[in-house]
């Protein structure tokens, strides 16, 4: 079963605008990761935030984590047409530290030039 | 070095036939994962291998699905008596040993399976 729920399911913006995607999860976690997928194939890791962190930055990406609300958000600033892709959050469980990831359903982002 | 590779990239089969999907992880990665992704959906965890430990098979949807891994290298996912609902992209990922401190997974390009 999928743990994460993401919203919106689809997002369409103009180049230069910011894009915000949200992810909610149900159980305790060790960390939460965001991945990007182009054309329905392999995923690329974007950023990881640990359960004891609240915010993290990487280039134009900003991730926040609120463990009390079991939610995370991914912000892409100054979007580019090349950012068009599907974005997935994935959680690694809090017990046993298995390394297994549970993925959300994803947000499809379209950035119009 | 090379990333995770999967073969074949596409597989079309008839209902009831068996299929084998292959994954070559990144050299030195002790953990290997299989996921299934149906059209327009998120990734569904299938199975996880970590070194010599017993695999976590908790995501396998039925006994028609099985997977093997040879040491810390190649893995094969076998689906017996395929059904149309098995049609999906099957993604493999690997990750570095836990001692490296890295938790991120590196994905292969996937195998698109179509069951007619």
Domain-wise residue ranges, chain B: 5-115
Segment A1-11, tens digit of pLDDT? 345 678 888 99
B50 Cβ under 8 Å from any chain A Cβ: yes
- Minimum distance, in Å, between the CA of residue A78 and any CA atom of chain B: 25
Domain A5-112 carries which CATH code?
Answer: 2.60.40.10
Joined tokens for residue A77: 């600033």
Question: Does residue B36 carry a pLDDT above 80?
Answer: yes
* DSSP, residue by residue, B81-106: S--GGG-EEEEEEEE--GGG-----E
Asked if omega into A8 is within 30° of 0 (cis), the reply is yes
CATH class of B5-115: mainly beta
E runs forming strands in chain B: 5-7, 10-13, 19-24, 31-37, 43-50, 65-69, 75-79, 88-95, 106-107, 111-115
The pLDDT value given to residue A1: 37
Question: Which residue does chain A place closest to B94, by CA atoms?
Answer: A99
Domain ranges of chain A: 5-112
Contacts of A95 in chain B (CB under 8 A): none
Residue carrying the six token digits 């017993």: B54
CB contact under 8 A, B104 and A45: yes
Candidates A3, A27, A41, A58: best to mutate against B (most CBs of B within 10 A) is A41
Q: Give residue A40's pLDDT.
A: 65
> Which residue do the tokens 């017996």 mark?
B80
For residues A52-76, give the mean pLDDT. 96
Residues 6+ apart with CB under 8 A from B44: A2, A103, B35, B36, B37, B38, B59
B7 in contact with A at a CB cutoff of 8 Å?
no
Q: What is the mean pLDDT of residues B66-74?
A: 90
């Amino acid at each position: 079963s999928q743990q994460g729920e993401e919203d919106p399911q689809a997002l369409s913006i103009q180049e230069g605008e910011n894009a915000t995607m949200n992810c909610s999860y149900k159980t305790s976690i060790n960390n939460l990761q965001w991945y990007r997928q182009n054309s329905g194939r392999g995923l690329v890791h974007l950023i990881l935030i640990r359960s004891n962190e609240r915010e993290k930055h990487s280039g134009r990406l900003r991730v926040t984590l609120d463990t009390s609300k079991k939610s995370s958000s991914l912000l892409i600033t100054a979007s580019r047409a090349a950012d068009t892709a599907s974005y997935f959050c994935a959680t690694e469980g809090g017990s046993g530290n298995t390394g297994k990831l549970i993925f959300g359903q994803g947000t499809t982002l379209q950035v119009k030039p | 070095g090379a990333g995770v590779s999967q073969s074949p990239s596409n597989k079309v089969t008839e209902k009831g036939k068996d299929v084998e999907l292959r994954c070559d992880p990144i050299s030195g990665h002790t953990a290997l994962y299989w996921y299934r992704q149906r059209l327009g959906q998120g990734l569904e965890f299938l199975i996880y291998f970590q070194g010599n430990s017993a695999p976590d098979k908790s995501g396998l949807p039925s006994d028609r699905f099985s997977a093997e891994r040879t040491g810390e290298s190649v893995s094969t996912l076998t689906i017996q008596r395929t059904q149309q609902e098995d049609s999906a992209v099957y993604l493999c990922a690997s990750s570095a040993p836990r001692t490296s401190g890295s938790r991120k997974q590196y994905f292969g390009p996937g195998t698109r399976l179509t069951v007619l």
